[in-house]
Structure 1
Amino acid sequence: MGMIKVHEFTTVDGIIGAPMWTMDYGFTPALGEAIGGFMASCTAILLGRTTYEEFAPAWSTRTAEDDPGAPFFNDTPKYVVSSTLKQADWNNSTVLGAYDAEAIRRFKESIDGDIYVSGSATLVRALLADGLVDELHLLVYPIALGTGPRLFPEGAPQTKLELAGSQAIDNGVLHVTYTPATTD
Protein backbone atom coordinates (compact mmCIF):
# COMPACT_ATOMS: atom_id res chain seq x y z
CA MET A 1 0.00 0.00 0.00
CA GLY A 2 1.35 3.39 -0.98
CA MET A 3 1.49 6.51 1.11
CA ILE A 4 0.11 9.71 -0.39
CA LYS A 5 2.75 12.44 -0.25
CA VAL A 6 1.49 15.90 -1.11
CA HIS A 7 3.83 18.70 -2.19
CA GLU A 8 2.75 22.34 -2.23
CA PHE A 9 4.67 25.54 -2.88
CA THR A 10 3.20 28.16 -0.54
CA THR A 11 3.81 31.67 0.72
CA VAL A 12 4.08 32.52 4.40
CA ASP A 13 0.47 33.69 4.26
CA GLY A 14 -0.69 30.40 2.75
CA ILE A 15 -1.16 31.26 -0.94
CA ILE A 16 -0.71 28.23 -3.20
CA GLY A 17 -1.93 29.51 -6.58
CA ALA A 18 0.26 29.38 -9.72
CA PRO A 19 3.62 29.78 -7.98
CA MET A 20 5.32 32.24 -10.32
CA TRP A 21 6.59 34.00 -7.18
CA THR A 22 8.98 31.09 -6.60
CA MET A 23 11.13 32.28 -9.53
CA ASP A 24 12.61 35.12 -7.47
CA TYR A 25 14.21 32.57 -5.11
CA GLY A 26 15.82 30.25 -7.64
CA PHE A 27 15.68 26.49 -7.80
CA THR A 28 18.87 25.63 -5.95
CA PRO A 29 20.46 22.17 -5.73
CA ALA A 30 19.45 22.05 -2.04
CA LEU A 31 15.81 22.69 -2.99
CA GLY A 32 16.04 19.97 -5.63
CA GLU A 33 17.47 17.56 -3.08
CA ALA A 34 14.67 18.31 -0.61
CA ILE A 35 11.98 17.67 -3.23
CA GLY A 36 13.82 14.63 -4.58
CA GLY A 37 14.04 13.25 -1.05
CA PHE A 38 10.30 12.84 -0.61
CA MET A 39 9.70 11.92 -4.26
CA ALA A 40 12.27 9.09 -4.23
CA SER A 41 9.86 6.45 -2.91
CA CYS A 42 7.03 7.49 -5.25
CA THR A 43 6.06 5.14 -8.05
CA ALA A 44 2.86 6.93 -9.08
CA ILE A 45 1.65 10.50 -9.55
CA LEU A 46 -1.89 11.55 -8.62
CA LEU A 47 -3.15 14.85 -10.02
CA GLY A 48 -6.31 16.87 -10.28
CA ARG A 49 -7.49 17.85 -13.76
CA THR A 50 -6.26 21.46 -13.69
CA THR A 51 -2.76 20.54 -12.53
CA TYR A 52 -2.64 17.68 -15.04
CA GLU A 53 -3.58 20.08 -17.84
CA GLU A 54 -0.83 22.49 -16.71
CA PHE A 55 1.83 19.82 -16.17
CA ALA A 56 1.29 17.80 -19.37
CA PRO A 57 2.45 20.47 -21.85
CA ALA A 58 5.10 21.81 -19.47
CA TRP A 59 6.77 18.47 -18.68
CA SER A 60 6.06 16.26 -21.70
CA THR A 61 8.65 17.99 -23.88
CA ARG A 62 11.37 18.27 -21.23
CA THR A 63 14.30 15.90 -21.07
CA ALA A 64 16.71 15.06 -18.25
CA GLU A 65 19.13 17.54 -19.83
CA ASP A 66 16.49 20.29 -19.49
CA ASP A 67 15.46 19.35 -15.95
CA PRO A 68 16.55 16.41 -13.75
CA GLY A 69 12.89 15.94 -12.73
CA ALA A 70 11.70 15.32 -16.30
CA PRO A 71 12.17 11.53 -16.30
CA PHE A 72 10.12 11.21 -13.10
CA PHE A 73 7.24 13.26 -14.48
CA ASN A 74 7.30 11.73 -17.94
CA ASP A 75 7.96 8.07 -17.14
CA THR A 76 6.04 7.57 -13.88
CA PRO A 77 2.43 6.39 -14.20
CA LYS A 78 0.09 9.34 -13.73
CA TYR A 79 -3.51 9.14 -12.51
CA VAL A 80 -5.93 12.02 -12.96
CA VAL A 81 -8.95 12.63 -10.76
CA SER A 82 -11.55 14.37 -12.90
CA SER A 83 -15.27 14.22 -13.60
CA THR A 84 -14.84 16.08 -16.91
CA LEU A 85 -11.61 14.82 -18.48
CA LYS A 86 -12.34 11.77 -20.63
CA GLN A 87 -8.85 10.97 -21.88
CA ALA A 88 -5.29 11.71 -20.79
CA ASP A 89 -2.72 11.77 -23.58
CA TRP A 90 0.47 12.43 -21.63
CA ASN A 91 2.69 9.35 -21.47
CA ASN A 92 1.53 6.76 -18.89
CA SER A 93 -1.61 8.70 -17.88
CA THR A 94 -4.96 7.28 -16.79
CA VAL A 95 -8.16 9.11 -15.88
CA LEU A 96 -9.62 7.71 -12.65
CA GLY A 97 -12.92 9.59 -12.88
CA ALA A 98 -14.60 11.86 -10.38
CA TYR A 99 -13.26 12.11 -6.85
CA ASP A 100 -14.46 9.27 -4.65
CA ALA A 101 -12.76 8.68 -1.30
CA GLU A 102 -13.32 4.92 -1.40
CA ALA A 103 -11.94 4.68 -4.93
CA ILE A 104 -8.86 6.62 -3.81
CA ARG A 105 -8.43 4.25 -0.84
CA ARG A 106 -8.55 1.27 -3.23
CA PHE A 107 -6.15 3.03 -5.59
CA LYS A 108 -3.79 3.73 -2.70
CA GLU A 109 -3.87 0.06 -1.67
CA SER A 110 -3.11 -1.05 -5.24
CA ILE A 111 0.11 0.95 -5.60
CA ASP A 112 3.45 -0.64 -4.81
CA GLY A 113 5.36 2.40 -3.58
CA ASP A 114 4.24 5.86 -2.64
CA ILE A 115 2.03 8.32 -4.50
CA TYR A 116 3.18 11.86 -5.30
CA VAL A 117 0.69 14.73 -5.49
CA SER A 118 1.71 18.24 -6.52
CA GLY A 119 -0.52 21.29 -6.67
CA SER A 120 -4.03 19.96 -7.30
CA ALA A 121 -5.57 22.10 -4.54
CA THR A 122 -9.16 20.90 -4.94
CA LEU A 123 -8.03 17.26 -4.90
CA VAL A 124 -5.68 17.84 -1.95
CA ARG A 125 -8.40 19.54 0.09
CA ALA A 126 -10.65 16.49 -0.48
CA LEU A 127 -7.83 14.05 0.35
CA LEU A 128 -7.09 15.94 3.58
CA ALA A 129 -10.78 16.04 4.55
CA ASP A 130 -11.04 12.28 4.02
CA GLY A 131 -7.85 11.46 5.92
CA LEU A 132 -6.02 10.17 2.86
CA VAL A 133 -2.87 12.32 3.00
CA ASP A 134 0.03 10.59 4.76
CA GLU A 135 2.60 13.37 4.39
CA LEU A 136 2.06 17.04 3.59
CA HIS A 137 5.25 18.69 2.33
CA LEU A 138 4.99 22.48 2.33
CA LEU A 139 7.75 24.50 0.72
CA VAL A 140 7.18 27.85 2.38
CA TYR A 141 8.58 30.85 0.50
CA PRO A 142 9.48 34.04 2.41
CA ILE A 143 6.89 36.22 0.75
CA ALA A 144 3.36 37.28 1.64
CA LEU A 145 1.00 37.99 -1.25
CA GLY A 146 -2.10 38.95 0.70
CA THR A 147 -4.52 37.45 -1.77
CA GLY A 148 -4.94 34.28 -3.80
CA PRO A 149 -6.09 30.69 -3.40
CA ARG A 150 -5.16 28.97 -0.16
CA LEU A 151 -4.79 25.31 0.68
CA PHE A 152 -6.84 25.92 3.83
CA PRO A 153 -9.33 28.61 2.82
CA GLU A 154 -11.41 30.58 5.27
CA GLY A 155 -14.35 28.48 6.46
CA ALA A 156 -12.59 25.16 5.78
CA PRO A 157 -12.91 22.52 8.49
CA GLN A 158 -10.21 22.32 11.13
CA THR A 159 -7.32 20.06 10.12
CA LYS A 160 -4.95 18.86 12.85
CA LEU A 161 -1.45 17.92 11.80
CA GLU A 162 1.79 16.88 13.50
CA LEU A 163 5.18 18.23 12.60
CA ALA A 164 7.29 15.43 11.15
CA GLY A 165 10.25 17.51 10.03
CA SER A 166 11.58 20.86 8.94
CA GLN A 167 14.53 22.01 6.90
CA ALA A 168 15.78 25.49 6.08
CA ILE A 169 16.92 25.60 2.46
CA ASP A 170 19.71 27.86 1.19
CA ASN A 171 17.38 30.06 -0.89
CA GLY A 172 15.28 31.13 2.12
CA VAL A 173 12.59 28.46 1.63
CA LEU A 174 11.47 26.35 4.57
CA HIS A 175 10.52 22.72 3.89
CA VAL A 176 7.99 21.68 6.51
CA THR A 177 6.60 18.15 6.65
CA TYR A 178 3.36 17.31 8.44
CA THR A 179 1.56 14.04 9.04
CA PRO A 180 -2.01 13.53 10.28
CA ALA A 181 -2.32 14.19 14.00
CA THR A 182 -2.56 11.04 16.03
CA THR A 183 -5.64 10.71 18.16
CA ASP A 184 -5.39 10.42 21.93
Structure 2
Amino acid sequence: ALDAVLLESRATQILILAPTREIAVQIHAVITAIGIKMEGLECHVFIGGTPLNQDKARLKKCHIAVGSPGRIKQLIELDYLNTASIRLFILDEADKLLEEGSFQEQINWIYSSLPVNKQMLAVSATYPESLANALTRYMREPTFVRLNPTDPSLIGLKQYYKIVNSHPLPHKTFEEKTQ
Protein backbone atom coordinates (compact mmCIF):
# COMPACT_ATOMS: atom_id res chain seq x y z
CA ALA A 1 0.00 0.00 0.00
CA LEU A 2 2.92 2.36 0.58
CA ASP A 3 3.70 2.52 -3.13
CA ALA A 4 0.22 3.93 -3.76
CA VAL A 5 0.76 6.96 -1.49
CA LEU A 6 0.99 10.23 -3.39
CA LEU A 7 3.86 11.91 -1.55
CA GLU A 8 3.34 15.26 -3.26
CA SER A 9 -0.09 15.51 -1.60
CA ARG A 10 -0.37 16.59 2.03
CA ALA A 11 -3.71 14.80 2.46
CA THR A 12 -4.41 11.69 4.51
CA GLN A 13 -4.74 8.81 2.05
CA ILE A 14 -4.65 5.73 4.29
CA LEU A 15 -6.53 5.26 7.56
CA ILE A 16 -5.68 2.34 9.83
CA LEU A 17 -7.70 1.49 12.93
CA ALA A 18 -6.39 -0.68 15.76
CA PRO A 19 -8.20 -1.90 18.89
CA THR A 20 -5.52 -0.75 21.37
CA ARG A 21 -3.04 2.08 21.73
CA GLU A 22 -0.17 -0.39 21.86
CA ILE A 23 -1.11 -2.01 18.55
CA ALA A 24 -1.52 1.42 16.92
CA VAL A 25 1.97 2.40 18.09
CA GLN A 26 3.40 -0.90 16.77
CA ILE A 27 1.75 -0.40 13.37
CA HIS A 28 3.15 3.13 13.19
CA ALA A 29 6.64 1.83 14.02
CA VAL A 30 6.47 -0.84 11.29
CA ILE A 31 5.20 1.58 8.64
CA THR A 32 7.88 4.09 9.57
CA ALA A 33 10.59 1.40 9.35
CA ILE A 34 9.35 0.07 6.00
CA GLY A 35 8.85 3.54 4.54
CA ILE A 36 12.14 4.99 5.77
CA LYS A 37 13.46 5.33 2.20
CA MET A 38 10.30 7.07 0.98
CA GLU A 39 11.39 10.67 1.29
CA GLY A 40 8.57 12.84 2.58
CA LEU A 41 6.33 10.01 3.80
CA GLU A 42 4.38 11.14 6.86
CA CYS A 43 2.77 8.53 9.10
CA HIS A 44 1.41 9.52 12.50
CA VAL A 45 -0.33 7.73 15.34
CA PHE A 46 -3.49 9.17 16.94
CA ILE A 47 -4.55 7.70 20.27
CA GLY A 48 -6.34 8.85 23.38
CA GLY A 49 -4.22 10.43 26.08
CA THR A 50 -2.25 12.67 23.71
CA PRO A 51 -2.95 16.41 23.29
CA LEU A 52 -5.50 17.22 20.58
CA ASN A 53 -3.59 20.31 19.45
CA GLN A 54 -0.58 18.05 18.77
CA ASP A 55 -2.80 15.78 16.65
CA LYS A 56 -4.20 18.78 14.78
CA ALA A 57 -0.67 19.93 13.89
CA ARG A 58 0.36 16.44 12.73
CA LEU A 59 -2.69 16.18 10.48
CA LYS A 60 -1.58 19.18 8.42
CA LYS A 61 0.70 16.75 6.56
CA CYS A 62 -0.15 13.12 7.20
CA HIS A 63 -0.29 10.51 4.44
CA ILE A 64 -1.07 7.60 6.77
CA ALA A 65 -3.11 7.97 9.96
CA VAL A 66 -3.00 5.11 12.45
CA GLY A 67 -5.17 5.22 15.53
CA SER A 68 -7.80 3.98 17.88
CA PRO A 69 -11.44 4.28 16.80
CA GLY A 70 -12.36 6.74 19.56
CA ARG A 71 -9.61 9.24 18.78
CA ILE A 72 -10.04 8.97 15.00
CA LYS A 73 -13.79 9.60 15.35
CA GLN A 74 -13.08 12.61 17.55
CA LEU A 75 -10.60 14.04 15.03
CA ILE A 76 -13.11 13.68 12.20
CA GLU A 77 -15.89 15.28 14.29
CA LEU A 78 -13.65 18.25 15.10
CA ASP A 79 -12.76 18.62 11.38
CA TYR A 80 -9.09 18.03 12.17
CA LEU A 81 -8.99 14.90 10.00
CA ASN A 82 -10.25 15.47 6.47
CA THR A 83 -11.37 12.13 5.05
CA ALA A 84 -11.98 13.25 1.44
CA SER A 85 -8.70 11.80 0.12
CA ILE A 86 -8.72 8.49 1.99
CA ARG A 87 -8.38 5.69 -0.56
CA LEU A 88 -7.54 2.80 1.76
CA PHE A 89 -9.27 1.93 5.04
CA ILE A 90 -7.70 -0.84 7.14
CA LEU A 91 -9.07 -2.58 10.20
CA ASP A 92 -6.22 -4.31 12.02
CA GLU A 93 -7.30 -7.03 14.44
CA ALA A 94 -10.71 -6.80 12.78
CA ASP A 95 -12.12 -9.57 14.96
CA LYS A 96 -11.49 -7.42 18.05
CA LEU A 97 -12.68 -4.19 16.44
CA LEU A 98 -15.97 -5.67 15.24
CA GLU A 99 -16.88 -7.98 18.11
CA GLU A 100 -20.25 -7.28 19.71
CA GLY A 101 -20.24 -4.30 22.06
CA SER A 102 -16.71 -3.29 21.13
CA PHE A 103 -15.97 -0.46 18.68
CA GLN A 104 -18.69 -1.29 16.18
CA GLU A 105 -20.65 1.94 16.62
CA GLN A 106 -17.54 4.11 16.22
CA ILE A 107 -16.37 2.13 13.19
CA ASN A 108 -19.80 2.47 11.57
CA TRP A 109 -19.61 6.23 12.08
CA ILE A 110 -16.04 6.47 10.74
CA TYR A 111 -16.89 4.25 7.76
CA SER A 112 -19.86 6.47 6.85
CA SER A 113 -17.62 9.56 6.90
CA LEU A 114 -15.18 8.09 4.37
CA PRO A 115 -15.42 8.37 0.57
CA VAL A 116 -17.65 5.78 -1.08
CA ASN A 117 -14.92 4.63 -3.48
CA LYS A 118 -12.21 3.34 -1.20
CA GLN A 119 -10.50 0.02 -0.76
CA MET A 120 -11.02 -1.70 2.57
CA LEU A 121 -8.88 -4.35 4.23
CA ALA A 122 -9.77 -6.24 7.38
CA VAL A 123 -6.84 -8.14 8.85
CA SER A 124 -7.20 -10.70 11.61
CA ALA A 125 -5.38 -13.74 12.94
CA THR A 126 -8.76 -15.43 13.36
CA TYR A 127 -11.73 -15.21 11.02
CA PRO A 128 -14.83 -16.45 12.83
CA GLU A 129 -18.00 -16.61 10.76
CA SER A 130 -19.38 -13.64 12.73
CA LEU A 131 -16.52 -11.50 11.40
CA ALA A 132 -17.20 -12.53 7.81
CA ASN A 133 -20.86 -11.62 8.31
CA ALA A 134 -20.00 -8.26 9.88
CA LEU A 135 -17.64 -7.37 7.03
CA THR A 136 -20.30 -7.87 4.37
CA ARG A 137 -21.97 -4.70 5.71
CA TYR A 138 -18.91 -2.67 4.76
CA MET A 139 -17.70 -4.33 1.57
CA ARG A 140 -19.13 -4.93 -1.87
CA GLU A 141 -18.16 -8.36 -3.19
CA PRO A 142 -15.53 -9.03 -0.50
CA THR A 143 -12.80 -11.60 -1.00
CA PHE A 144 -11.80 -13.55 2.09
CA VAL A 145 -8.26 -14.91 2.22
CA ARG A 146 -7.71 -17.48 4.93
CA LEU A 147 -4.64 -19.55 5.62
CA ASN A 148 -5.18 -23.25 6.18
CA PRO A 149 -5.27 -23.67 9.98
CA THR A 150 -3.39 -26.99 9.83
CA ASP A 151 -0.65 -25.65 7.54
CA PRO A 152 -0.53 -21.84 7.64
CA SER A 153 2.46 -21.54 5.29
CA LEU A 154 2.31 -19.87 1.92
CA ILE A 155 2.34 -22.05 -1.19
CA GLY A 156 5.80 -22.22 -2.72
CA LEU A 157 7.53 -20.97 0.42
CA LYS A 158 9.67 -23.36 2.40
CA GLN A 159 11.20 -22.48 5.72
CA TYR A 160 14.23 -24.16 7.23
CA TYR A 161 15.99 -23.86 10.52
CA LYS A 162 19.12 -25.25 12.09
CA ILE A 163 19.94 -25.50 15.76
CA VAL A 164 23.41 -24.17 16.41
CA ASN A 165 25.51 -24.20 19.53
CA SER A 166 26.09 -20.85 21.14
CA HIS A 167 29.08 -19.60 22.99
CA PRO A 168 28.68 -17.28 25.99
CA LEU A 169 31.67 -15.08 25.08
CA PRO A 170 29.99 -12.97 22.32
CA HIS A 171 27.04 -12.37 24.64
CA LYS A 172 29.34 -11.20 27.44
CA THR A 173 31.24 -8.97 25.01
CA PHE A 174 27.97 -7.40 23.90
CA GLU A 175 26.92 -6.80 27.52
CA GLU A 176 30.26 -5.12 28.27
CA LYS A 177 29.99 -2.84 25.26
CA THR A 178 26.49 -1.73 26.17
CA GLN A 179 27.29 -0.83 29.77
TM range (shorter): 0.3 to 0.5
Please give the TM-score of this superposition, normalised by the length of structure 1: 0.36
Please give the TM-score of this superposition, normalised by the length of structure 2: 0.37
Q: Which has the larger radius of gyration?
A: 2
Question: Which has more strand, going by share of residues?
Answer: 1
Question: Which has more helix, going by share of residues?
Answer: 2
